[in-house]
């Protein structure tokens, strides 16, 4: 199948729902109604052999996760999802069926989140490469949440449950192919509605947990010029994490802190926003796991209040 007919097949897999995309694939560029006052754009790329292996990740897993990771950045800003632009670098032996499987999984996640895949490029590549640019929209610069707004006295909160993706990754490497932890790793859900609700509720800083709290909390601390104190025992762990960690011979709290790719939202907010924040991200729960202090860096407390010296793996 030639590159042009593959592009045509991929275009057919996409839907320009919503009326915001005035011109989609097929011209030199996509044209989108800029109905928000500010455009919020993030780029993420994954490469076979570096970020995933095709013997543990199906093409659909790869497509889903690449788009989910990019959309997660929009959630962490509190932006409304908008458009995605996808570059596929396909090895010559990859084949049409797998390329379509990858794109269909992206399209399903796009539909579920209100995103439109409005353009892209297909090129040859020695390994599978998926690069996703997502643009979301916000009402104003001030309506969004950044990494640099944490202030001493703020509380530290997190959505959902931690550690599931990290355990799932290790189980996958040991040959498991199913179960909720493996699924959590392969098919993360970007927290778009929660992010928008938290930004509207007045959080002072926000980031998505892509590299593990040990790294991501440090990003907020560094960008905000403050110290974050996080007590991991206050964070809810993914169901089944304790049992899986035992089988894996790992400390569940360390998995929750360092393994990353949970794509939950870590945020700070002033105490008087606490009630609004707790109501915001339904049906997700919010847990309060620490506080912001004068100082710098991250202090991470594990079991029994002992300091943990883990750093998150540097996913990129």
Q: Write out the residues near a copy of itself by the rule CB under 8 A.
A: 2-4, 22-23, 26-34, 36-47, 49-51, 73-74, 76-77, 79, 83, 85-87, 89, 118-127, 129, 131, 133-138, 141, 144, 146-148, 206-208, 223, 314, 316
Give me the least distance between CB of 16 and a copy of itself, in Å please.
14
| Among 83, 84, 126, 103, residue whose Cα is nearest residue 6 | 103
Give me the least distance between CB of 267 and a copy of itself, in Å please.
12
Judged by beta carbon, residue 45 or residue 229, the one nearer a copy of itself is 45
Judged by beta carbon, residue 43 or residue 303, the one nearer a copy of itself is 43
Helix (H, G, I), strand (E, B) or coil at 269: strand
Under 8 Å between Cβ of 301 and 179: no
Give me the least distance between CB of 87 and a copy of itself, in Å please.
4
Question: In this structure, what token pair is assigned to residue 298?
Answer: 């991250």
Judged by beta carbon, residue 135 or residue 268, the one nearer a copy of itself is 135
Under 8 Å between Cβ of 234 and 115: no
Q: Are strands 38-47 and 129-138 parallel, antiparallel or unpaired?
A: antiparallel
Give me the least distance between CB of 73 and a copy of itself, in Å please.
4
Positions of E strands within 209-274: 227-231, 265-269
Tell the residue number behind the tokens 């931690």, with chain if given: 162
Judged by beta carbon, residue 259 or residue 265, the one nearer a copy of itself is 265
Tell the residue number behind the tokens 């104003």, with chain if given: 140
Give me the least distance between CB of 130 and a copy of itself, in Å please.
10
Judged by beta carbon, residue 190 or residue 252, the one nearer a copy of itself is 190
Give me the least distance between CB of 306 and a copy of itself, in Å please.
27
CA 113 – CA 110 distance, rounded (Å):
5
Residue 130 β-bridge partners = 46, 88
CA 203 to the chain's CA centroid: 18
Judged by beta carbon, residue 50 or residue 282, the one nearer a copy of itself is 50
């Amino acid at each position: 199948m030639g590159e042009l007919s593959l592009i045509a097949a991929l275009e057919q897999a996409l839907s320009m729902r919503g009326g915001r995309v005035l011109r989609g694939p097929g011209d030199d560029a996509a044209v989108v109604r800029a109905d928000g006052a500010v455009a919020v754009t993030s780029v993420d790329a994954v490469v076979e052999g570096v970020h995933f292996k095709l013997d543990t990740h199906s093409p659909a897993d790869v497509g889903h996760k690449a788009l989910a990771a990019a959309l997660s950045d929009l959630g962490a800003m509190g932006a409304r999802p908008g458009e995605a632009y996808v570059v596929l670098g396909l090895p010559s032996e990859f084949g049409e069926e797998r390329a379509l499987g990858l794109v269909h999984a992206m399209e399903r996640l796009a539909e579920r989140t209100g995103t439109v895949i409005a353009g892209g490029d297909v090129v040859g590549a020695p390994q599978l490469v998926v690069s996703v640019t997502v643009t979301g929209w916000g009402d104003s610069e001030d309506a969004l949440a950044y990494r640099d707004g944490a202030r001493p006295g703020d509380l530290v909160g997190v959505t959902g449950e931690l550690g599931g993706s990290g355990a799932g990754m290790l189980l996958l490497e040991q040959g498991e192919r199913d179960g909720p932890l493996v699924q959590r790793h392969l098919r993360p859900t970007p927290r778009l509605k929660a992010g928008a609700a938290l930004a509207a509720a007045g959080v002072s800083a926000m980031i998505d947990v892509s590299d593990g709290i040990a790294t991501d909390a440090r990003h907020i601390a560094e960008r905000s010029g403050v110290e974050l104190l996080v007590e991991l025992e206050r964070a809810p762990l993914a169901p089944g994490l304790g049992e899986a960690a035992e089988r894996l011979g790992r400390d569940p709290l360390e998995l929750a802190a360092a393994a990353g790719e949970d794509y939950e939202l870590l945020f700070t907010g002033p105490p008087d926003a606490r009630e609004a924040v707790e109501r915001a991200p339904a049906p997700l729960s919010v847990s309060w796991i620490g506080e912001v202090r004068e100082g710098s860096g991250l202090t991470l407390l594990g079991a029994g209040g002992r300091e943990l010296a883990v750093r998150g793996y540097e996913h990129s």
